[in-house]
Chains A and B, each alone.
Chain A
Amino acid sequence: MPTIAAVEAGSFVVKTGFLNDVPYFALGDGRVAFVDGAQTDIQAHKSGLLAATELLDGSALVTSGDDGLIQKVSGDGAVETLSERPRKWIDILACGPSGAVAFASGRTAWVRLSNGEEKEFAQDRAVGGLSFAPKGMRLAVSHYDGSTLLWVNTSGTPQKLEWKGAHLGVCFSPDGKYLVTAMQENALHGWRLTDAQDMRMTGYPTKVKSWSWSVKGRYLATSGANAAICWPFFGKTGPMGQNPLQLGTRGDSLVSCVACHPKEDVLAIGYQDGMVMMCRFEDNAEVLLRRPGRSPISALAWDKDGLRVSFGAEDGEAGIISLQ
């Protein structure tokens, strides 16, 4: 039976996860709370924390805020300032190979390399999202009317991928073959990078704000509907012409957050009403992990062994669910 250890986060949970097996909660009021038995609060930002993501090697959390700081928060609570853009709200972050960190504000994206060197990439339109390709120092920037692929360390010509409309979040498939964006108009857009073939993934009643790749990148699980919509990305044509899996369907609430299990074809699903469920891809078998709470689930993560799920909600409710 799953057991829940409640955590008093006390502020909007922007991101949760595990650093060195210790659960953390990055919070809207600027704190990062580590819960290793007792709770330790680190004030990473003076006021608001807007985005957080882990370094690819899992050694630290990178956060950004409305104080213009990009902070590296280690599991031992040490905070190191990686970069600063005074008076800018930094609300978009991505971590890449070799310790690279990308961040954006307005129409500018920057990449900070692990040696401290910074590169600036001015865009014509506001940056909607950032994502590093799984291999090579290549950065995708999504924006109005498409995405741009940049080479960070070489002066190669940026590749433009066009599709009308506002592209918000962006991610690469783990095999690097596809680029997917979440759009303002309740849809995903994708490009097959070998030939820039467009893919439309539509039918959502709301915007897609959370997504997660399943083991080996076979499925992209997404929020935004009354079930977790999981698009198949195996085979030569990816999701084109295929129907997505629909997991954890409910009649009375929408999916607000998803996180794929690190080893199995299993999905943790968070809902608008605060419920958390676990669902198996193969047969849609469901296990209730948390009853509905006061507000939408805003963050969800598995530990590396897939034995614990940490979750957080918009009003600051949070917890750690142990499956054993």
Chain B
Amino acid sequence: MPDAQDTAANQIPVTVLTGYLGSGKTTLLNRILTENHGQKYAVIVNEFGEVGIDNDLLVESDEEIFEMNNGCICCTVRGDLIRTVQNLMKRRGAFDAIIVETTGVADPAPVAQTFFMDDDVRSAARLDAVVAVVDARHVLQRLEDTAEAEEQIAFADVILLNKTDLVTAEELATVEARIRKINPYAVRHKTERCAIDLKAVLDRGAFDLDRILSLDPHFLQHGHHEDECGPDCDHEHHHHAHHDHSHAHDHECGPNCDHDHHHHEDENPHSVKSISLRAGDLNPDLFFPWINQVTQVQGPNILRLKGIIAFKDDPERYVIQGVHMIVEGDHQRDWKADEPRESRLVFIGRDLNWDVLKQSFQACAVQQD
């Protein structure tokens, strides 16, 4: 649809920064605002606090959660964001992109959902990526104490594992393994004082259906290890190979990873996990009712979902992504000749019955005979 593309070109990209107090979120924000990149940012913060930048497009916004009157318990949006984005649109042209800094204890879902559920916001702005800043030294404790820390990691497209200079190599390996366990699909970077090339944080297109896979060409191809053993290790290798050129392969698939895995699984059965499902060609008449039903019933427990689907007799790839109960999908491009036609779907969530999901997903497959 050409109209939709025109809209996309005019939509202001929005980066959401999450992270616990003290993780280095403000350091990253100050870095984005002071580096000479020729871009002008409008910044929505929860409190002016330590943002030491004199920017006339800096706005303080009290988190104001709206529940939508549509009978969906997880359909919440940020009322203050809707208003602030509308106000910013009166000064369109004065800035190139928007950054939203959330409070340390914020659930990222309402922020993300605002960009899908409010028509005015959706036409004006598009969510580019959720970036989580994680304090390598304190994150394990945070994960024990709170649900938000886990959700921030689970929700992220990009994770900055920060303050790596304050932990030993072993501690870092443990932390990395734990993060991978929660969200193996985010692109991870290890930083000190959030020193990072901003290209790795901004303009990621993480919610762009066209770019879902180009972000991580391997996330859908190697997931079959996922439900077997050492899933996290597997992904880590690929991440390192493709995204972390500057960093050493400092974590090999070893005992650490495995121990950590089992240890935490035993400890907290409600923790966030991810699963990758795989099948051949799917029957759309089975798949769409299934995905609707899954997201309706289990939406509150599904933090993110992404996938590429091969439909029977359809030459094009169908890409899909979701946040809780919100799911959107579209045809992307033709399958390439050398590309195996394969349907892959990834969920990140908690308290999901993986076996049932796997079986019911595979039941959408076209029967081979």
A interface, CB within 8 angstroms of B: 11-12, 14, 28-29, 46-50, 66-67, 87-89, 91, 106-107, 125-126, 128, 144, 164-166, 184-185, 206-207, 314-315
Contacts and interface: CB of A to CB of B under 8 A. Distances in A.
8 contacts: A28-B90, A46-B56, A47-B94, A87-B48, A91-B83, A184-B66, A184-B79, A314-B92
B91 A144 contact: no
Contact of B68 (A125, A126, A184, A314): A184
Which of A46, A48, A91 has the most B CB atoms < 10 Å from its CB?
A48
Interface string B70-84: 100000010110111
A209 to B, nearest CB: 8
A12 B119 contact: no
B48 A144 contact: no
B119 A206 contact: yes
A14 B120 contact: no
B79 A207 contact: no
Given A66-B59, A106-B62, A165-B69, A91 B79 contact: no
Contact of A164 (B59, B69, B87, B89): B69
B96 interface: no
A107 to B, nearest CB: 6
For the complex of A and B, the 7 pairs showing the least CB-CB separation, nearest first, are A28-B90, A12-B90, A166-B66, A126-B64, A165-B69, A47-B56, A48-B91
Nearest to A163: B69
B316 interface: no
Contacts of B57: 47, 66
Given A66-B59, A87-B48, A48 B90 contact: yes
A311 to B, nearest CB: 16
Contacts, number: 75
Nearest to B61: A106
Contacts of B68: 184-185
A128 B82 CA distance: 11
A12 B92 CA distance: 8
B235 to A, nearest CB: 39
A123 B181 CA distance: 43
Contacts of A14: 90
A29 B92 CA distance: 9
B224 to A, nearest CB: 43
Nearest to A88: B60
A144 B84 contact: no
A47 B91 contact: yes
A166 B79 CA distance: 8
Contacts of A315: 92
B325 to A, nearest CB: 16
Given A48-B91, A314-B89, A144 B83 contact: no
Contact of B87 (A29, A89, A126): A89
Nearest to A47: B56
A29 B62 contact: no
A29 B226 CA distance: 53
Contacts of B56: 46-48, 66-67
Contacts of B61: 106
A50 B56 CA distance: 14
A12 B48 contact: no
Interface in B98-129: 118-120
Contacts of A164: 69
Contacts of A107: 62
Contacts of A165: 66-67, 69
Given A47-B91, A87-B48, A185-B70, A126 B79 contact: yes
B89 A89 contact: no
Contacts of A67: 56
B27 to A, nearest CB: 22
A241 to B, nearest CB: 22
Contacts of B69: 164-165, 185
Contacts of B87: 48, 50, 66, 89, 91
A12 B89 CA distance: 8
A67 B87 CA distance: 13
